Amino acid sequence: MRKKLIAGNWKMHLLPVGARALVERIRAELDPLAATLAKDREVMVAPPDILIPAVAQALAGSSILLGAQNMHFEDKGAFTGEVAPPMLLAYGVTHVILGHSERRHIFHETDDLINKKVLAAIHHRMTPILCVGETQDEHDSGRALDVVLRQLQRGLEGVADDHVTRMAIAYEPVWAIGTGRTATPAQAEAIHGAIRGAILERYGRERADTVRIIYGGSVNDENVDSLVSKPDIDGALVGGASLKADSFARIVRARTR
Ligand code: PGA
Per-residue pLDDT of the chain in tens (257 residues, 90 and over written 9): 899 999 999 999 999 999 999 999 999 999 999 999 999 999 999 999 999 999 999 999 999 999 999 999 999 999 999 999 999 999 999 999 999 999 999 999 999 999 999 999 999 999 999 999 999 999 999 999 999 999 999 999 999 999 999 999 999 999 999 999 999 999 999 999 999 999 999 999 999 999 999 999 999 999 999 999 999 999 999 999 999 999 999 999 999 98
For residue 146, what are the domain limits? 4-252
- Is 63 inside a domain boundary? yes
Q: Does any domain span residue 257?
A: no
Q: How far is the CA of 216 from the centre of ligand 1 (A)?
A: 6
> Does 133 fall in a domain?
yes
**47 inside domain:** yes
Structural domain contains residue 151:
yes
> How many distinct structural domains can be found in the chain?
1
From 102, 172, 189, 192, active-site residue: 172
Residue whose C-alpha is closest to residue 163's, from 189, 124, 219: 124
Distance (Å, rounded) from C-alpha 61 to C-alpha 233? Answer: 29
Q: Is 163 an active-site residue?
A: no
**145: in domain:** yes
DSSP state of 43: E
CATH number for position 9 = 3.20.20.70
Contact 225, 18 (CB under 8 A): no
Distance of CA 20 to the CA centre of its chain: 21
In-domain check, residue 156: yes
Out of 6, 9, 10, give the residue to mutate to test ligand 1, the one with the largest number of ligand atoms within 8 Å of its CB: 9
Which residue owns the Cα nearest ligand 1 atom 2? 239
Active site residue 172: yes
Atom of ligand 1 nearest to the CA of 9: 9
